[in-house]
Amino acid sequence: MRVRRAAKGVGDFLIDTVGEAVADVILSVLACILLGCLALIVYLSWSASPRLTIAGAGLLSCILAHGAWRASRRPAKARSRGLAALTAAVFTGAAATALFLLLYVPGCDCL
């Protein structure tokens, strides 16, 4: 009985370890693909029109700043209104993407 329990414990440990390693590799590859797509978007945008790229980056910065400001404040009412909710959602998505890239891009060896 003890041998079976020990073998089952070792098997579970191996499955968990291999599963975590595979998940880490998959997330690193996804992060590398995401970083490559972001770099490609910037390159193609800059190639098409540098002025519009700067203007778009400025607009995106304003949207992210407004979203960060709205996300950090407590709303006076329980629900947020249209633009405030949209910019807060954009900021939250950008922050989550930045955190994902920060955690997994160093492991993909694409830099």
Mind listing the pLDDT tens digit for each residue in 28-70?
888 888 888 988 999 999 999 999 999 999 999 999 998 888 8
Question: What pLDDT shows up at residue 3?
Answer: 77
Number of structural domains (the chain) is 1
Checking if the pLDDT of 78 tops 60, the result is: no
Dump pLDDT digits (tens) for 84-107: 888 888 999 999 999 988 888 876
What's the domain range around 92? 2-107
Question: What pLDDT shows up at residue 46?
Answer: 93
Checking if the pLDDT of 6 tops 80, the result is: no
What is the per-residue DSSP string for the chain? -HHHHHHHHHHHHHHHHHHHHHHHHHHHHHHHHHHHHHHHHHHHHHHH-HHHHHHHHHHHHHHHHHHHHHHHSPPSSSS--HHHHHHHHHHHHHHHHHHHHHHHGGGS---
